[in-house]
Amino acid sequence: MKALLLIDVQNDFMPGGALAVPEGNQIVPIINKIQHKFDLVLATQDWHPAGHASFASTHNKDLYELIDLNGIDQVMWPDHCVQGTTGADFHAELKLDKIEAIFRKGTNPEIDSYSGFYDNAHLKSTGLSGYLKEKGVTELYFAGLAGDFCVAFSVKDALNEGFTSFLIEDATRAIDAEGFEKAKAEIVEKGGKILNADEI
């Protein structure tokens, strides 16, 4: 059973959004083109309450500053993907008809959640792993934003959960190229595979 997991294909991560990933919009046509190749398509959605602990504005900190948040390194992000805002909506051109379930993350105001599986302290599961196992999924393919944060964290958690995991490189974009190279190396080291959409 082969599943495609779309990570945070949301307006705030697109060019012009609050936390824009360069060329983020370019992944949407690729994702739309490959959805039919999978038995199951799922999506995650960053879904922060206003005043979230990961927002620079909450702490009067500089954007992208690194702070210690309850013992975890936390980047101070611009306010983004606030519940119920247009920025939190999926990109208008993303095909949603094949998406069977949406897993929301980052809902706890006190802790960030890059991965689609767990919050950053691994205190609480989103239920994604159990859902996939119940469906009989063995192979997981990842696309979305941003490659060096939410996508990479999700792939690493999937590998730890025992799923054969593939990162679709041309269907993801990163905030920082150097960070993405490092993340890809970690994924391969953990047994994950990197490929392009036309190799599926």
Average pLDDT, the chain: 97
Question: Is-contact 63 78, C-beta < 8 A?
Answer: yes
Geometric angle at alpha carbon 10, from 120 and 155, rounded to 5°: 40
Buried (b) or exposed (e) across 155-194, using 16+ Cβ within 10 A? Answer: bbbbbebebebbbbbebbbbbeeeebeebbeebeeeebee
Average pLDDT rounded to a whole number, residues 161-180: 97
Q: Is residue 200 part of a domain?
A: no
Q: Provide the residue range defining the domain that includes 175.
A: 2-195
CATH number of 146's domain: 3.40.50.850
Q: What is the pLDDT of residues 50-92, one digit of tens each?
A: 999 999 999 999 999 999 998 999 999 999 999 999 999 999 9
Which of the residues are catalytic? 8, 105, 150
Q: Is residue 90 part of a domain?
A: yes
Under DSSP, the state recorded for 65 is -
| Alpha-carbon span 169 to 23, nearest angstrom | 13
How many separate domains does the chain show?
A: 1
Q: What is the pLDDT of residues 140-168, one digit of tens each?
A: 999 999 999 999 999 999 999 999 999 99
What is the per-residue pLDDT for 4? 98
| Alpha-carbon span 4 to 191, nearest angstrom | 18
Under DSSP, the state recorded for 195 is E
Average pLDDT rounded to a whole number, residues 19-39: 97
Which contiguous run of DSSP H or E holds residue 59? helix 56-59
What is the per-residue pLDDT for 153? 97
What φ, ψ does residue 155 adopt, rounded to 5°?
-65, -45
